[in-house]
């Protein structure tokens, strides 16, 4: 699915860029190229790390590498007129070094043409929706100050724009480190609203009646919000008659009811449940532990593919967590053995109230 999305995005980019260049609108074309590069690195490659790094070269891994190769090749040609040196470096490192039948330079290649059959606008829109949810979820988690490696039980999503993202749901769960996601319509049962005047826009318009508006907004936020959503404006009664106040002239702030953290933008609101039970705490500790081991491997000067023997000296409750997840830990840190003892001639580091020992197998 991610491969299809990236190929579609690339061909949409090529189509858009050619259209803008034919209009001599270089700024819009290059901005779109820059956004695509960000999506490539911060979305596609990030989400496919396990595919790239897994041991066996199966069809799935080959598909990921082939997709990335094709995209980088065409992208280097696409950006060549605007970034001549970096495009040449990418082309020489990835294309020329692997395919001897290619041109000597990226600047000798024909400019790419879009394959319209590979553009799937519906998939791109659904992925944009998923990315929006993830960005708001990250914002909500940041506000809560709950560590990224601490799993959370649930996210609730409220959206006016309903999209079928069942086949993309796992991306949200993985990126936000949550167990489940729910889509609901009854936002007002979970959220409190505060509506304030935008003083820059309304100060001169209302003058002495600004205080009347403040009182109205304070007393009836929920009913006024319904009216704003239905009509796009509310009416303020004054001695000079009714004055129309539009949604754009007001500032709407949201706060969650209950133990949630919130993120929102136009038309989309997400809530992250902050209830953390013992099971989630254990999993959060395990993720911190694995992260520490991976960093310790780097400190020990090991190669990414080196297998290890892992020695541990931990409090009893933490040792139980390791024992319950031993097979998973071995896979994640490339450990052939886990021993609950000090290892001689091994790299040693302190972890919380215990110590870890790493030795190459």
pLDDT at 63: 93
| Domain encompassing residue 284 | 279-360
Q: What is the CATH number of the domain that holds 49?
A: 1.10.730.10
Give CA angle at 166 (165, 167), nearest 5°: 90
Q: 82 and 39 in one domain? A: yes
CA distances, 333 to each of 75, 150, 282, 323, 327 (Å): 34, 19, 18, 15, 10
Domain check: are 8 and 115 in the same one? yes
Domain total of the chain: 4
- Answer yes or no: do 222 and 290 share one domain: no
pLDDT, position 98:
76
**Residues 291, 354 within the same domain:** yes
Q: Describe the chain by its helix, strand, coil percentages, rounded to 5.
A: 55, 20, 25
Is residue 33 located within the same domain as residue 173? no
Q: Are residues 184 and 198 in the same domain?
A: no
**DSSP secondary structure code for residue 94 in this structure:** I
**Contact assessment for residue 121 and residue 253, using Cβ atoms and an 8 Å cutoff:** no
Single residue among 256, 288, 307 that ends a domain in this structure: 256
What is the Cα–Cα distance from 238 to 247, expressed in whole angstroms?
A: 19
pLDDT for residue 219: 81
Same domain, 135 and 196: no
Return averaged pLDDT per consecutive 10 residues of the chain, 361 residues in all: 96 98 96 97 92 82 93 96 96 85 90 96 95 95 94 93 84 95 90 89 86 86 82 86 88 92 91 96 96 94 92 94 95 93 92 92 86
Q: Are residues 321 and 235 in the same domain?
A: no
Together in a domain, 143 and 213:
no
CB neighbours (10 Å) of residue 242?
Answer: 10
Sheet of 335-339: strands edge to edge?
Answer: 335-339, 308-313, 354-360, 347-351
* Inter-residue contact 263 to 156 (CB < 8 Å): no
pLDDT for 166:
86
Question: What pLDDT, on the 0 to 100 scale, is given for residue 145?
Answer: 93
**pTM of the complete model:** 0.84
- The token pair that represents 280 in the structure block: 């989630």
């Amino acid at each position: 699915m991610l491969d299809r999305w990236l190929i579609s995005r690339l061909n949409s980019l090529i189509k858009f860029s050619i259209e803008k260049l034919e209009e001599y609108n270089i700024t819009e074309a290059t901005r779109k190229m820059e956004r695509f590069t960000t999506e490539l690195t911060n979305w596609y490659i990030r989400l496919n790390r396990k595919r790239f790094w897994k041991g066996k070269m199966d069809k799935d891994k080959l598909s990921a590498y082939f997709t990335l190769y094709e995209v980088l090749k065409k992208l280097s040609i696409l950006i060549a007129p605007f970034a001549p040196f970096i495009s040449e470096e990418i082309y020489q490192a990835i294309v020329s070094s692997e395919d001897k039948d290619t041109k000597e330079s990226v600047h000798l290649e024909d400019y790419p043409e879009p394959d319209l059959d590979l553009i799937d606008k519906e998939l791109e829109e659904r992925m944009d929706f998923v990315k929006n949810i993830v960005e708001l979820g990250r914002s909500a988690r940041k506000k809560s100050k709950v560590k990224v490696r601490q799993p959370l039980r649930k996210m609730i999503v409220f959206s006016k724009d309903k999209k079928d993202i069942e086949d993309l749901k796992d991306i949200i769960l993985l990126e936000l480190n949550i167990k489940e996601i729910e889509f609901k319509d009854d936002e007002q049962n979970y959220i409190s609203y505060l509506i304030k005047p935008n003083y820059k826009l309304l100060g001169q318009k209302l003058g002495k009646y600004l205080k009347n508006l403040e009182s109205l907004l304070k007393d009836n936020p929920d009913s006024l919000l319904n009216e704003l959503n239905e009509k796009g404006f509310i009416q303020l009664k004054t001695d000079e008659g009714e004055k129309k106040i539009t949604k754009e002239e007001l500032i709407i702030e949201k706060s969650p009811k209950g133990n949630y953290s919130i993120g929102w933008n136009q038309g989309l609101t997400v809530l992250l449940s902050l209830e953390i039970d013992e099971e989630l705490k254990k999993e959060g500790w395990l993720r911190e532990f694995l992260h520490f081991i991976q960093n310790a491997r780097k400190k020990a000067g090991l190669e990414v593919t080196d297998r290890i023997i892992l020695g541990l000296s931990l409090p009893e409750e933490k040792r139980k967590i390791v024992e319950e997840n031993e097979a998973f830990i071995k896979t994640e840190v490339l450990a052939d053995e886990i021993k609950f003892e000090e290892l001689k001639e091994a790299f040693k580091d302190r972890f919380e109230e215990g110590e870890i020992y790493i030795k190459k197998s």
